[in-house]
């Protein structure tokens, strides 16, 4: 059963997006794999102390994006295939790099300097 205890919510992004991002990260790290069960919406809401409507919204998003499948008698499970995994990987790594570039630009680092620093610290 996928736990949400490690998700620390921030006050900047909508909660339903934070929940979906957390699940994507778990998939990327292979901590959530095909067929893993998700807790009930009410359970997740209580775990995170968030509105049950918000959790419902997160499930809708995750189902639309394809990595959560819900069926009447089984509840919700993680669904990953190679295509979905690649998409999540691209999205999350892209996000990481973009954030890094923004912070680097904030302190006026040049591209050349950044590459130098990466080479040094890698």
Partner 1 sequence: MIQLSFVTKLYNSNNFGLVIEELEIPTGEIVGVLGANGSGKTTFLKSVMGLGELKRGEVLIAGKPVMEQYHNIAFITEEGSYLSHLTPLMYGEFLSVFFPKFNMEKYIKLLKYFDINTKNKIRTFSKGQKSKVEICAGFSKGAKYILLDEPFLGKDMFTRQDFLKMMISILRTDETILISSHFVNEIENIIDRALIFERGRIQGDYYIDDLREEGKELSEVMKTISGYQENKYQNAMKLI
Q: Judged by CB, which is closer to partner 1: 51, or 93?
A: 51
Q: Judged by CB, which is closer to partner 1: 16, or 67?
A: 16
| Interface ranges with partner 1 (CB under 8 A) | 9, 11-16, 42, 45-46, 48-54, 57
Q: Judged by CB, which is closer to partner 1: 17, or 33?
A: 17
To partner 1, the closest distance from the beta carbon of 88 in angstroms equals 21
Q: Judged by CB, which is closer to partner 1: 47, or 79?
A: 47
To partner 1, the closest distance from the beta carbon of 94 in angstroms equals 19
Sign of the CA dihedral running 81, 2, 26, 73: positive
Contact 19, 59 (CB under 8 A): no
* 3 state SS of 110: coil
Which residue blocks in the chain are alpha helix, DSSP H? 15-28, 41-48, 52-65, 82-106, 111-121
**Could you give the CA distance from residue 93 to residue 28 in angstroms, rounded to a whole number?**
10
To partner 1, the closest distance from the beta carbon of 61 in angstroms equals 11
* 3 state SS of 29: coil
């Amino acid at each position: 059963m996928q736990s949400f205890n490690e998700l620390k919510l921030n006050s900047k992004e909508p909660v339903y997006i934070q929940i979906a991002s957390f699940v994507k990260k778990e998939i990327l790290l292979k901590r959530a794999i095909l067929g893993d069960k998700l807790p009930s919406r009410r359970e997740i809401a209580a775990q995170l102390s968030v509105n049950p409507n918000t959790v419902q919204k997160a499930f809708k998003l995750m189902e639309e994006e394809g990595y959560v499948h819900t069926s009447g008698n089984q509840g919700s499970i993680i669904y990953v295939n190679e295509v979905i995994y690649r998409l999540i990987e691209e999205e999350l790594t892209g996000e990481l790099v973009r954030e890094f570039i923004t912070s680097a630009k904030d302190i006026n680092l040049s591209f050349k300097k950044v590459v130098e620093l990466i080479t040094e610290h890698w």
